[in-house]
Each structure stands twice: as C-alpha cells, then as structure tokens.
C-alpha cells in the first residue's frame, strides 16, 4: 500500500519505520528537517519537508495515489485540515487523524474522519492490564 504520514514526531516516525519495514511504500511530511533526520538509515520512504497541509507538498508526497493518509502531528488543527483536504479534494480512500483533545472527537466523527487518540488508548491498555492482574 501507498501510505502518507503527516508529522515525523515520535508517533509518525515509529509508524513510518515500522510500515516501511513491513514493505509498504511510505512518504512522510514534516515542516522540520530535524524531525525527518531522526528516521533511521534503513527507512526507504520519501521524506518531504514542508507545510503539512500545503496542496503542492501533499501532491509531492503522492496524495493522488495514496491508499491511506495518517495525520499524526501533535496539533489537532493541522490534523483536521489535512484530513479534510485528503477527503474532500483528493478523495483518499482511508484517512486516520490523531486527536489529542478527546472533546474534538465529535467534530471528526461528524465529518466522517476516523481518529485515534493516544491518551485514550493508553488509558484503555493500562486499565485492562490492571484489571487482568489486580494483585
């Protein structure tokens, strides 16, 4: 699959390296060159420095051929902007946006955008482990 990841922080970089290692074609976009430089030498994907929601940058990243776009920046406003551009302008088949503020989930749901909230996932996993092993 051809996957574009927006944001090369901890989440985006780990996801890019893991998906690349699994044989997927990856493009990753970040406005900071230093973030892109953190990707290991084994990363075979395309690194693009630029504004995450700029149409020309997204086209350079291959959005017209993308199967997935994952918007994983720590900024909810950037993530929703990228998701809307991917959905409405480029009709990317699958879009997943990271949300950091759980209160914004309703907005994303109303727009038909799939989300992931790292805080909620962490709470769920920790709670499950505690309940599985109470003592």
Domain of residue 104, CATH code: 3.40.50.720
Q: Per the structure block, which two tokens stand in for 53?
A: 């929601």
Query: pTM of this prediction?
Result: 0.91
Whole domain around residue 13: which residue ranges? Answer: 2-132
Question: Of the ranges 39-48, 83-92, 112-121, which is most confident?
Answer: 83-92
Q: How far apart are CA 2 and CA 89, in angstroms?
A: 18
For the cut 90, the answer to whether the pLDDT of residue 48 exceeds it is yes
Summarised one tens digit per residue, pLDDT across range 70-101 is 999 999 999 999 999 999 999 999 999 999 98
Q: What is the pLDDT of residue 135?
A: 72
Q: Looking at the 3D structure of the chain, how many domains does it have?
A: 1
Q: What is the pLDDT of residue 5?
A: 99
Q: What is the pLDDT of residue 21?
A: 93
């Amino acid at each position: 699959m051809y996957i574009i990841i927006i944001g090369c922080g901890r989440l985006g970089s780990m996801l890019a390296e893991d998906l690349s290692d699994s044989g997927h074609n990856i493009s990753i976009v970040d406005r900071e060159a230093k973030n892109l430089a953190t990707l290991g030498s084994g990363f075979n994907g395309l690194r693009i420095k630029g504004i995450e929601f700029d149409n020309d940058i997204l086209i350079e990243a291959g959005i017209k051929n993308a199967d997935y776009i994952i918007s994983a920046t720590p900024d909810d406003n950037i993530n929703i902007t990228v998701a809307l551009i991917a959905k409405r302008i480029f009709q990317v088949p699958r879009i997943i946006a990271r949300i950091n503020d759980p209160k914004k989930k309703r907005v994303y749901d109303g727009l038909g955008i799939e989300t992931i909230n790292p805080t909620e996932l962490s709470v769920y996993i920790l709670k499950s482990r505690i309940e599985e092993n109470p003592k």
